[in-house]
Amino acid sequence: MKLTDPEKAMLDGRDGRAKAKAMELLVRYGEALGAERLVETRNVAGTWATSRFMTDFVARGMDAVYSEFNLDSDEVVATPHAAVSSCQLIAGVDHRNWRIQGVPEEAALAQARAEAFFGARGIQQLATCTPYQVGNVPVRGEHCAWMESSAVVYCNAVLGARTNTEGRESTGAASITGRIPYWGFHMPERRFATHACEVAFPVDDMMDWGLLGYHVGEAVEEDIPVLSGIRHTPSLVKLKHFGAAGASSGGLEMYHIPGITPEAPTREAALGGKAPRERFGYGEAERRRAYENLNASARDRDVDFVMLGCPHNSIEQVWLIASLLDGRKVSASTQLWVHTPSAIRQVADRSGYTKAIEDAGGVVMSDTCPAISRFMPKGTRVTATDSAKQAHYLPALTGVQTWFGSVAHCIDAAITGRWTGGL
Ligand code: F3S
């Protein structure tokens, strides 16, 4: 791999041991991928503070855990300050509601300690899987180093910024060097569509965008689709759900919608002037199949737990939930958790939405989600969610039955304790 003089200086240890270990990792990783050089990045989204390593933090100290998990280094180095803007993604503990989550006190304290440690070293504690909803909005063409599949596909496709799906170690190294291997989605020629999808069924609401995403992800796996036949301009919320669903059923990291996403002024431009390698469609039968697959684990209609906010809810979604509750109470046999970034929670507090949800008996959660934390209300057997991603992962990760449907179906289940949704 060809390195610049400042990169060679970092590798030689002239900027300290941590940067030397970070450069060693990036060169090793880049060479394994066939990258010929590194590219500068000033936007990193990864994970540093998490109580998952609580026992290690206590027994071995923060620097040892940082060295191993953020730099893949056996040598223990002192944790340096971030060199470029770096934010913490979602973690396992809600800093306000950890007792309701069921998190042990020592884990909550460890999480707080880890956040303070990494915060003091420049890691911005956004604590969400949707950094683009709370101020981290890279511009078109900007090179980023992001983890989290739903964020990666949003970054590439909707914002036109450039990132591969990075890991804990590569984002750790990028944060202190400002470099990431130049390969994959950093390269303009790797961003063109390879597959063409003709959407024949009208797709407008959020549930339908989730179903379409689930079908598209399964069809393309890790390739890049261009969608035709979209008749309504989707919002942030709909594209967030579309990408998250496609990244769950397949490995969707990039897509194009002509006239809507920034690198697709036309279908031809999205395809880079070439013919698509494969074509597929989305109609009523595909929609039904996606719906049935997402509901495959569900049998019992008595719902114990309703989870909304995967990916984390926008303020518009929190407002919608508060409006749909409409002064009614959540059933005594059901719990309602609404997940949103901590920064949006503050807006919800000031706008009265949190109070409306809490008055109904729900909880507004931040910083985490059940799939990441593995914490749900005790005794949960049956869940309901408006998220294709959560419906894909929860049964596999936790063994619970999961109903997938619209946000209105989910609120109805929270109020009545029964699932009555359907296509
Ligand atoms: Fe975010 Fe958890 Fe869903 S990380 S995308 S809320 S599974």
Residue 423 in any domain: the answer is no
List pLDDT tens digits, range 171-216.
999 999 999 999 999 999 999 999 999 999 999 999 999 999 999 9
Same structural domain for residues 120 and 184? yes
Look at residues 293, 319, 351 and tell me which one is the last residue of a structural domain.
293
Same structural domain for residues 22 and 152? yes
Same structural domain for residues 159 and 51? yes
CATH number for the domain that contains residue 407: 3.30.499.10
- DSSP, collapsed to helix, strand or coil, labels residue 87 as strand
The answer to whether the CB of 371 is under 6 A from ligand 1 is yes
Q: How many domains does the chain fold into?
A: 3
Q: State residue 382 phi and psi, 5-degree precision.
A: -130, 125
Same structural domain for residues 261 and 118? no
Residue 241 in any domain: the answer is yes
User: Cα–Cα distances in Å, from 163 out to 31, 98, 109, 243, 253?
Assistant: 17, 32, 33, 15, 9
One DSSP character per residue, 300-317 reads --B-SEEEE-SSPPPHHH
Provide the whole-model pTM: 0.97
- pLDDT given for residue 52 in this prediction: 67
Look at residues 246, 271, 293 and tell me which one is the last residue of a structural domain.
293
Same structural domain for residues 250 and 328? no
Same structural domain for residues 122 and 211? no
- Best mutation site among 307, 372, 398 for ligand 1 pocket (most ligand atoms within 8 Å of CB): 372
Counting every residue, how long is the chain? 423
Residue 313 in any domain: the answer is yes
CATH number for the domain that contains residue 153: 3.30.499
What does the alpha-carbon distance between residue 256 and residue 237 come to, in Å, rounded to a whole number?
A: 17
CA 85 to chain centre: 18
Whether the predicted pLDDT of 375 surpasses 70: yes
Look at residues 242, 274, 293 and tell me which one is the last residue of a structural domain.
293
Residue 319 in any domain: the answer is yes
List pLDDT tens digits, range 335-374.
999 999 999 999 999 999 999 999 999 999 999 999 999 9
Residue 171 in any domain: the answer is yes
Question: Measured in angstroms, how far is the CA atom of residue 4 from the centroid of ligand 1?
Answer: 37
Residue 342 in any domain: the answer is yes
Same structural domain for residues 271 and 387? no
User: Considering the chain, what is the average pLDDT of its residues?
Assistant: 96
Kindly report which listed range (56-60, 140-144, 264-268) carries the lowest average pLDDT score: 56-60
Same structural domain for residues 266 and 314? no
Residue 285 in any domain: the answer is yes
List pLDDT tens digits, range 24-65.
999 999 999 999 999 999 999 999 987 666 677 677 889 998
Among 410, 366, 386, residue whose Cα is nearest residue 91: 366
List pLDDT tens digits, range 377-414.
999 999 999 999 999 999 999 999 999 999 999 999 99
What does the alpha-carbon distance between residue 330 and residue 168 come to, in Å, rounded to a whole number?
A: 38
Residue 422 in any domain: the answer is no
Kindly report which listed range (5-9, 308-312, 396-400) carries the lowest average pLDDT score: 396-400
One DSSP character per residue, 16-73 reads -HHHHHHHHHHHHHHHHHT--BEEE-SEEEE----GGGHHHHHHH-HHHHHHHHHH--
The answer to whether the CB of 311 is under 6 A from ligand 1 is yes
Atom number in ligand 1 closest to CA 387: 3
What does the alpha-carbon distance between residue 389 and residue 251 come to, in Å, rounded to a whole number?
A: 12
The answer to whether the CB of 20 is under 6 A from ligand 1 is no
Atom number in ligand 1 closest to CA 312: 6
Same structural domain for residues 149 and 277? no
Same structural domain for residues 64 and 109? yes
Q: Which domain holds residue 331?
A: 297-416
What does the alpha-carbon distance between residue 315 and residue 347 come to, in Å, rounded to a whole number?
A: 7
Nearest CA to ligand 1 atom 4: 129
Whether the predicted pLDDT of 322 surpasses 80: yes
Same structural domain for residues 269 and 166? no
Same structural domain for residues 276 and 389? no
